[in-house]
Amino acid sequence: MIVITTPTGDIGRQVVDRVLDGGEAVRVIVRDPSRLSARVRAQAEVVQGSHGDAATITKALAGADRLFWLVPPAGFRDADSARGYYLNFTRSACQEAATRGVRVVGVTSLGRGYQGEAGLLSAAFAMDELIESSGVAYRALALPFFMENLLRQAPTIKEQGTFSMANAADRPLPTVATRDVAAAAAALLLDTSWSGQARVPLVGPDNLTPDAMAEVISEVLGRTVRYHQVPLADFRTAMVRGGASPALAQDMADMVEAQNNGIYDTELRDPDSVAATGFRQWCQDNLKRDARS
């Protein structure tokens, strides 16, 4: 039995579909079952609740041997700190998986070994340490910046010809598409041969700066799109104005500063870590459609 968390999220829903295609028995944990696709409701066992809740994760892991783990962003903005949120959310699942001998495939950040505070990314590394300390068999999908983050700015790209972040305009920002993450996660969940603990870096074939991303987007959309770099102080202030605690806003700013300092280059990668989807292809398949809608 494979248990999958965040089955309605951008990565989780793709993992569910791929695992169901593999013919395995699937159980999903979801707060709102009505958000599941008709296929998942028909073919998977559903446990309603939060996978950060001890009783829910205990019920979900009964009789299971594999777990897809992803800490959801929902609720993160209400946390006092990223580290506390990640560890509190993961602790019960970690203990239950260890007790039952469940193998875990998890989503985390690339860049472990970075010397410095990295906010949200440091929280993900702390989560990895917690899981590893339990002794469970673990494959940590170590990921950089998600291409899908840009979809949040599709209206601005369409209407104003610009997108903005606090990332340095001239600093390469490694990226990955969620479909490649889901493919890697499903492959590991369906593979019963691995054991022990290891990190699995996964990065797209490009190494573009945000300015270069704007050039690619411009070429794909057939109109000029420019990148605007937001000062970190303004980024942090906007987070607080949007309802984040000062500590959480600092965590987000620390993450971006670490990205600007090359955190993703800290972790060694081999040729097998290169994902299939390039940024141009992703723009053609996703951003072009959304920007013109």
Question: Roughly how many angstroms between the first and final C-alpha of the chain, as a whole number?
Answer: 40
Q: Is 273:264 a contact under the CB 8 Å cutoff?
A: no
Do the domain assignments include residue 25?
Answer: yes
Count of CB atoms situated within 10 Å of the CB of 234: 12
Do the domain assignments include residue 140?
Answer: yes
Do the domain assignments include residue 39?
Answer: yes
More confident residue, 268 or 29: 29
Of 47-51, 72-76, 99-103, 215-219, where does mean pLDDT reach its minimum?
72-76
- What CATH number is given to the structural domain containing 138? 3.40.50.720
The tens digit of pLDDT for each residue in 27-48 reads 999 999 999 999 999 999 999 9
Give φ, ψ of 276 to 5 degrees.
-80, -35
- Write out the residue range of the structural domain in which residue 66 sits: 2-146+176-203+262-275
Question: How far apart (Å, rounded) are the C-alpha atoms in residues 166 and 227?
Answer: 10
Domain count, the chain: 1
The tens digit of pLDDT for each residue in 139-160 reads 999 999 999 999 999 999 988 9
Do the domain assignments include residue 45?
Answer: yes
Which amino acid, one-letter code, is at 88?
A: N
Do the domain assignments include residue 124?
Answer: yes
Question: How far apart (Å, rounded) are the C-alpha atoms in residues 77 and 240?
Answer: 10
Contacts (Cβ under 8 Å, ≥6 apart) of 174: 110, 144, 145, 203, 204, 206, 207, 264
| pLDDT at 14 > cutoff 80 | yes
What pLDDT was estimated at residue 245?
A: 82
More confident residue, 270 or 84: 84
Instruction: Please state the pTM of the whole predicted model.
Output: 0.93
Do the domain assignments include residue 123?
Answer: yes
Do the domain assignments include residue 28?
Answer: yes
